[in-house]
Amino acid sequence: MLKNPEKVKNDLVEWIRTYFEENGPGCMCVVGISGGKDSSVTAALCAEALGKDRVVGVMMPDGVQADIADSIELVNHLGIPSLTVDISAAVKGLKGAIEGAEGFSTICGAPELSKDTMIGMPARIRMTTLYAVGQSLPGGARVANTCNRSEDYVGYSTKYGDAAGDFTPLSNLLVHEVRQIGTVLGLPQHLIQKTPSDGLSGMSDEDKLGFTYEQLDNYVLTGICEDEAVKAKIDRLHKANLHKLRLMPAFVLQED
Q: What per-residue confidence (pLDDT) applies to 204?
A: 86
SS3 248: coil
Cα–Cα distance, 159 to 139 (Å, whole number):
27
Q: Which of 38, 37, 91, 29 is nearest to 60 (CA)?
A: 91
Q: Which residues of 59-73 are buried (b: 16+ CB within 10 A; e: fewer)?
A: bbbbeebebbebbbb
Question: Average pLDDT of 52-71?
Answer: 95
pLDDT in tens, 98-142: 999 999 999 999 999 999 999 999 999 999 999 999 999 999 999
Q: Is the pLDDT of residue 200 over 80?
A: no
State the pLDDT at residue 198: 63
Give CATH superfamily name and number for 5-244. HUPs (3.40.50.620)
pLDDT for res 202 = 67
Cα 187 to Cα 47, 54, 90, 192, 217: the distances in Å are: 12, 19, 32, 7, 22
Domain residue extents for the chain:
5-244
Instruction: Say if residue 157's pLDDT is above 70.
Output: yes
- The Cα 145–Cα 245 span in angstroms is 13
For the chain, the C-alpha Rg in angstroms (whole number) is 19
Intra-chain end-to-end CA distance of the chain, in Å? 54
The pLDDT value recorded for residue 251 is 94
pLDDT band, residue 197 (cuts 50/70/90): confident
How far is 90 from 84, CA to CA, in rounded Å? 14
Distance CA 45, CA 38 (A): 11
pTM: 0.94
According to DSSP, the β-strands at 28-32 and 55-59 are parallel
The answer on pLDDT for 66 being more than 90 is no
pLDDT of residue 196: 74
At residue 195, the pLDDT reads: 77
